[in-house]
């Protein structure tokens, strides 16, 4: 199953870029309603993009990478569902999403499909989100805006998403 049509070759990278940009922007806006809107756009764009990447990598025989993108779909679904909730109530769901983000980033990065720099940035993001998940799982009150984590993990996730977009666009062109 190859992404031969122009739309599919552009939709996945565009979704990753839109997701990264709106996700970061949502972290910095002071308004809860605007943050919810930005994170909603971010989540939908990333779910569409990583769903398409799952199919793309399955078609290329990269089953492990495809599985990693499928895990990302599950993670992003949890994150999207909790994005506009009261932060205190969304903590456990956010922690589960962060744990799945960490797993996804590692699974996509283990095979030598992505460039080394993307795999390294992804590994850093995975480690940081694994710490976030562990803190949430043991009952620490974390929110998506808690500092230092997960706040300082987002740039590594965004760089990974930009790297995936660049790699996919470059190889699909």
CATH number at residue 30: 1.25.40
The answer to whether residue 1 is domain-embedded is: no
Q: In the predicted model, is pLDDT for residue 1 greater than 70?
A: no
The answer to whether residue 69 is domain-embedded is: yes
At 151 the pLDDT is: 93
At 88 the pLDDT is: 76
Q: How confident is the model at residue 64 (pLDDT cuts 50, 70, 90)?
A: very high
The answer to whether residue 81 is domain-embedded is: yes
At 89 the pLDDT is: 79
The answer to whether residue 18 is domain-embedded is: yes
Looking from the CA of 167 toward its CB, the CA atoms found within 13 Å total: 19
User: Residue 97 and residue 129: Cα distance in Å, rounded?
Assistant: 9
- Flag the least confident range among 5-9, 25-29, 104-108: 5-9
Query: What residue numbers bound the domain in which 60 lies?
Result: 6-172
Q: In the predicted model, is pLDDT for residue 8 greater than 70?
A: no
The answer to whether residue 22 is domain-embedded is: yes
Q: How many domains does the chain have?
A: 1
């Amino acid at each position: 199953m190859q992404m031969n049509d122009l739309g599919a070759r552009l939709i996945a990278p565009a979704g990753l870029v839109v997701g990264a940009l709106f996700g970061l922007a949502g972290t910095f806006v002071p308004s809860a309603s605007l943050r919810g809107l930005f994170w909603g756009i971010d989540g939908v764009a990333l779910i569409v993009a990583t769903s398409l990447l799952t199919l793309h990598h399955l078609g290329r025989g990269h089953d492990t990478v495809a599985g990693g993108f499928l895990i990302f779909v599950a993670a992003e679904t949890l994150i999207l569902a909790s994005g506009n909730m009261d932060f205190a109530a969304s903590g456990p769901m956010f922690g589960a999403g962060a744990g799945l983000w960490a797993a996804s980033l590692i699974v996509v990065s283990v095979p030598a499909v992505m460039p080394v720099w993307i795999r390294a940035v992804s590994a850093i993001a995975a480690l940081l989100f694994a710490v976030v998940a562990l803190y949430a799982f043991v009952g620490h009150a974390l929110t998506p805006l808690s500092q230092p984590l997960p706040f300082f993990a987002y740039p590594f996730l965004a760089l990974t998403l930009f790297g995936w977009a660049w790699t996919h666009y470059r190889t699909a062109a």
